[in-house]
C-alpha cells in the first residue's frame, strides 16, 4: 500500500488488484515487447475498498503516448501490462440494463 496525493486529497494506492471470485474475464490490449501488443483475456477486477469504482468501458484505443511504449522508446513496461487509456464510456443506460 502506498499513500499519494490525488489533487488536494490523499489517495491510498494499491499496486495490485483483486480479481472477481467467479473467474470472469474481459478483453485487454497487453504489451509483450517492442511492436508486440495482443488482445488477451484478463481477470475482471473486483471492488475491494468502499470508495472503489469499476467503470464499464465499451471501447478504447492506444494514443500517441502509448506509441512511445509500442516502439520501445520508453521501456517502463513488463510483459502483460495493459495499454489503452483513451476510453469510450457508457454514460446513460436504459431501464432494462
In a domain, 14, yes or no: no
Whether residue 7 lies inside any domain: the answer is: no
**Residue 67 banded pLDDT, cuts 50, 70, 90:** confident
Nearest to 62 by CA among 84, 81, 77: 84
Domain assignment of residue 89, yes or no: yes
Q: Which domain holds residue 30?
A: 24-97
Is residue 36 assigned to a domain? yes
Residue 92 belongs to a domain: yes
Q: Does residue 77 contact residue 34 with C-beta atoms inside 8 Å?
A: no
Cell numbers that stand for 29 in this block:
490490449
In a domain, 37, yes or no: yes
Q: Which residues pair with 1 in a beta bridge?
A: none
3-state DSSP assignment of residue 65: helix
Per-residue confidence band for 60, with pLDDT thresholds at 50, 70 and 90: confident
Instruction: Tell me the pLDDT tens digit for each residue of 11-58.
Output: 666 667 788 889 899 888 899 999 999 999 999 888 877 777 777 777
For the chain, give the mean pLDDT: 79
Stretch among 3-7, 10-14, 72-76 having the lowest mean pLDDT:
3-7
Distances (CA, A) of 16 to 49, 58, 72, 73, 97: 13, 23, 24, 26, 30
Number of domains forming the structure of the chain? 1
pTM metric for this prediction: 0.65
**Residue 11 belongs to some domain of the structure:** no
User: What does R_g of the chain's alpha carbons equal in angstroms?
Assistant: 16
| 15 domain-assigned | no
pLDDT of 32: 93
Amino acid at each position: 500500500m502506498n499513500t499519494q496525493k490525488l489533487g488536494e486529497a490523499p489517495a491510498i494506492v494499491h499496486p495490485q488488484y483483486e480479481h472477481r471470485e467467479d473467474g470472469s474475464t474481459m478483453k485487454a490490449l497487453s504489451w509483450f515487447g517492442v511492436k508486440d501488443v495482443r488482445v488477451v483475456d484478463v481477470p475482471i477486477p473486483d471492488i475491494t475498498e468502499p470508495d472503489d469504482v469499476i467503470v464499464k468501458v465499451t471501447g478504447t484505443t492506444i494514443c500517441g503516448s502509448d506509441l512511445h511504449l509500442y516502439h520501445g522508446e520508453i521501456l517502463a513496461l513488463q510483459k502483460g501490462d495493459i495499454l489503452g487509456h483513451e476510453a469510450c464510456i457508457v454514460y446513460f443506460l436504459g431501464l432494462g440494463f
